Every structure is written in C-alpha cells, then in structure tokens.
Structure 1
C-alpha cells in the first residue's frame, strides 16, 4: 500500500522529501486501492523533475496500469498536468494512444475534464489519434462536448470534420449530447459550422429536441425549434414527444414555451398516455399546472383506462391527483 508519507510528499511536489524515502516505502510494487502506484500519483500532482527521479532513479515504469487500465499518461491528462504528460511522452515508452480499460486515451480524458491546453498539445505536438473510440464508441469529440469544452470541440472538428455526425453506442451524436448537456454554443457550432445533422436520432428514436427537453435546457429547445425548424412533436419509438419527457422530469418552463410558442401539441404515447399522465405519474405538480393551463385535457384516458388524476392516485400522489381534479388556472402567462 502507498504510504501516507509518500503520497503527501508527491502531492506537495516535494522532490527533496521524496529523495529521502527508502525503497521500502517508495516502491513500484506498492499500490493503493485503485491499483495506482506512486508514479500515477505523481503524474497527477508533480512536476517533471520528481517524475524523472521516480523513473530514472527508483525504477518506476510509465507503462504500469491501474485497476481500470490507466497509465500515468492517462492520469496526467485527466488532471491537466501538461508538463508531467510532456515528460512522460518524450522520455518513456508510454504511448499517448494507449487505451485504458474503457477504451479511453489521454485525449479522451483531457477533453472530458476541460483541459484545453492538454488537448491542443496532444493533437498538435503528440499527434494523438482523435479517431480512437471507447467501449461505448465515444470519440474524444463526444467527451469534449459532454465536458463543455468549446475550444477543444473546435480543435477536434478542425482535425476531423467528418466526426460531427458519428454516433456512440446508443446512437447519440455530438449534437445530441450538446443538447442533452445544455451546451448551446457548442450545439450552434456543430450545426451551423460543421453540418451537425439534427435529423439523426438515437437508437431509441429520441431526437435532439427530446434530449434538450428531457434535461430542461430551454435555450437549446428554442434554438432547435425556432432556428433549426426541428419538429416539436417528434415521437420516439415509444411514441413519446418532447412534452412527455419535459413533463416526466419537471421542466415546466420548457413545457410552457413549447405549447405557447413552439407549436407543440398534446399527443398520446404508445401506452395512450398524454404528457399530463407523465407529469402525474412522476408527481410533477408544476408541470401538471402548466399542462392544464395550456389546454391539456384532464379527461384523456390511457390504454389502461386511467385518467391522469387516477394514475397519480394509483402512484400514491394524492396531492397531485387532487390538483389535477380541481385546478382552475387563474391567469394566462405569456411565454417569452
């Protein structure tokens, strides 16, 4: 096990203290509960001098892997420790394109954790392969989108413009992920400059509008429906529309805009449920109110013959059931 005195010295980048440690406590065979040795730790926290000492004087190898298959290069990239990463790549046999147990490379991790300088160096100097995919078919581009790193997204798209519409294992594209995460500027970049195709759906039939509505990102919903003319009534393979998803997740502002401005209509999913049924089942009281206020009928019955109020009661949401049965809108609020 990596001793506390070792980890403290390394985390403080204290080379002199590390030099004083005996081989008994500073040993490549000693690992923590994650299978990481002192070089992994140094790659996250220390400068190149300390790392050079571990490799050249104490016999640590940059090819050693943790329990999840991460090398010190992976750790340096994930932590944004560019100087450590540079030294490891230039002075050891560690390859920047090595993949960990999930298939992630150093480039994936730099992108995921918003270390743009590391990403730029990996692409420009280390010639990292941006086409490597993880076990879920994720490209570094997908990781950069999820991490919200606009500059890294642009770098990766410049490196390979064709990656804009490549799908991960569930069918999501970079545009879908940007909408899901609410990264509106990245979404605009993908669609406006790199031909991100908003018609490409995930493998369950969810569209980019579904993704934005489910996560409650109204700015993305507005952009997609208003500017990109995406269908606000699109249905996934279960017949659910963006309204259904917004209702389930409690996004009343998205519902209000979609129904008042975006052209969304009340439709039924494959189980006969309206968005009001979704809101009732999930006890989303504000969504219940906004749906009723915008004209969703409380009389609709699903394939089991249940109204939304009856479904709420069946799910033990007594207050929600009562609101559905008795709610009388006091006024109309204009969506903006």
Structure 2
C-alpha cells in the first residue's frame, strides 16, 4: 500500500476527483507540491480531468502555482482547454492565468481548445484576450487547427473575430482551406469558401492546391465542391496529379471515378483530359456511367454525343 503523501496516490485521488480523501491525505503529508512522471503537478491532473473543486482547493488552500509547467511546458490552462473543461478554464482565467502561454512546439491554450469541438471554451479564451492569429512552430494558427477538426460554427466564430484569418499560411504555404480539404471536412470547406477569396491555383510550397489534396485523399465531395466553385484552372491540377503518379482508376466509397466527378461538375476540359489519359467510363455503385451525368454540350461531345437541338 502506498505511503501517505506518495505522489502516485495523490495523483490518483485527484484524477478520481476524491476531494475529501485528498484533503485528509495532504493534511497528513503536509505538502501538495509533488510532480508526476511527466512533471505534472496536481493542478495539471485536476485541470485535465475537469475537477474544478479539486483545482480550487489546491490553489486556494495550498497556494499552488497556476502557471506551473510540466516537461512539455504545458500549464494547467492547456490541460483544461485541451479537454474542453469550461468550468476549469474559467476558474483559471479568473485567477489570472496567462491566456496565451506556450507549451512545447508553441501551442497556446486556444490552439488546444480548437482540437475539441467546444465553441464555448474557445469563446471564453478569446473573450479573455487569446489571439487566434498566433502561430505554432509549424506556422499553424487556431483557424488551421479548427479547419482540421471541421466544426463550421467554430470556423464562423473565429472568422468573425479575425476576418482575414482565412488567408494565413503555414510555414510551407498551406492555408486553412488546404487543411480542411485534406481532412475531408466538407462543411468547413463551405465556410472557408464563403468567407475567403481563394483562387483555384492557390498552391502550397510543394505545388499542391486544396483540390489536389481532396483528390489525393479520396474526398470526392470536397473535390466536387472545389471544382464547382472554380470551374476554370483545374486542368493543370489534374495534369500535375497524373504526372505525380496518381491512380487514374481510383474510386470513392460509392465507386465513382474522377471522370464521374468531372462530368458532374460539367468541366469539359477535365473530362477530355481524363479520357485522353486512358480512363474509360464505367458504372458507379448505382450503375450510373459518368457520361450520364453530362448535360452541357461541350461535355457531351467529349463522349461523342451530339446534344439535341
């Protein structure tokens, strides 16, 4: 059995939220400043597990430092924000916790909060002065992270606070739209297209556009939306994908090919290029051929059909 005041026992009591037992244990030990294996204090543990009453007891009775950092430089506010524990976030902010403190790799509590779909916590941090435009070591800001998670309400809120955030780039030139497209976040892509002025050829340092990211990752609904939004300019993108060795015969979960996608978007130049590259028309899971999705005269002509006069 662990001795009174043993750090492992204390951390377990905090993790389980057993405040009465913790009080008794700490009175007997006469100290609360023990660190866990990763350098976590009891405050880190309380914030991570969402025990506001334990958090308040440790701060107010034992005068524990709310700015204590563990080995990754995480502070209790990082822990509470990353887990979406609003009551703990508000308590720490109310006690004067630094809202834009940095952990390892320069992540702020707001960035951590954006990994969770908890709008209220994000709003609380911003209203207490958190800066959504701060960047981590990779050049990502909070909008990039929120775009990866794909919650449209969070994106709308961040863009209302920082209307120009849509155009920010990471260190390798990737925008929030690149991130949302790569992760297949259709609703996020819709918001970003509505709020931002993205061009079809907006490429990162490697030459990848959001459309290319969506195609390469198999997110055909996102690719279709981008194609419809930017009717022109995607022939060069398709050529680039083919030159990089992209599988021209790849299908999505509904067995639709790139040819289905181009036909649905009524993009004649892309249809022509795909057919010339050797992609043959074949049915999807519902039995529909790509050519059956063609309506415009120039698209129909790619299949040798003459539109009715």
TM-score of the pair, normalised by structure 2: 0.78
CA distance, structure 1, for counterparts of residue 134 and residue 13 of structure 2: 35
Q: Could you say which residue in structure 2 is the equivalent of 1:334?
A: 289
Q: Does 1:60 pair with 2:64?
A: yes
Q: CA RMSD in A?
A: 3.0
Q: Using the alignment, how far apart are the partners of 2:138 and 2:178 within structure 1?
A: 15
Seen in structure 2, the aligned counterparts of structure 1 residues 139 and 267 have a Cα distance that, compared at 3 Å, is farther
Q: Which residue of the other structure, out of 72, 75, 79, is the alignment partner of 1:75?
A: 79
* Equivalent position SS for 1:220: helix
Q: What's the offset of the Cα at 1:109?
A: 0.8
Once residues 234 and 143 of structure 1 are traced to their aligned partners in structure 2, the CA distance between those partners, rounded to angstroms, is 29
Q: Distance in 2 between matches of 1:241 and 1:249?
A: 12
Q: Where do 1:181-330 residues align within 5 Å? A: 181-235=183-237, 239-241=240-242, 244-245=245-246, 247=248, 251=252, 253-258=256-261, 260-261=263-264, 262=267, 263-264=270-271, 265-266=273-274, 292-294=279-281
Counterpart Cα distance in 2 of 1:2 and 1:90: 31
1:16 aligns with one of 20, 32, 35: 20
TM-score, scaled relative to structure 1: 0.73
Contact in 2 for aligned 1:12/1:46 (Cα 8 Å): no
Q: Distance in 1 between matches of 2:148 and 2:23?
A: 40
- State the partner residue of 2:307: none
Distance 1:167 1:56, change over 3 A: same
Distance apart, 1:247 and its partner CA: 4.8
Q: Distance in 2 between matches of 1:228 and 1:35?
A: 50
Which shifted more, 143-152 or 1-10?
A: 1-10
* CA shift for structure 1 position 214: 1.1
Q: Which runs of 5+ in 2 are unaligned?
A: 294-309
Matched residues, number: 275
CA contact (8 A) 2:166 2:195 kept: no
Conserved? CA contact 1:232–1:258, under 8 Å = no
Counterpart residue number, 1:36 = 40
Q: Give yes or no for the alignment of 1:100 onto 2:103.
A: yes
Give 5+ residue unaligned stretches, structure 1. 269-273, 275-290, 296-331
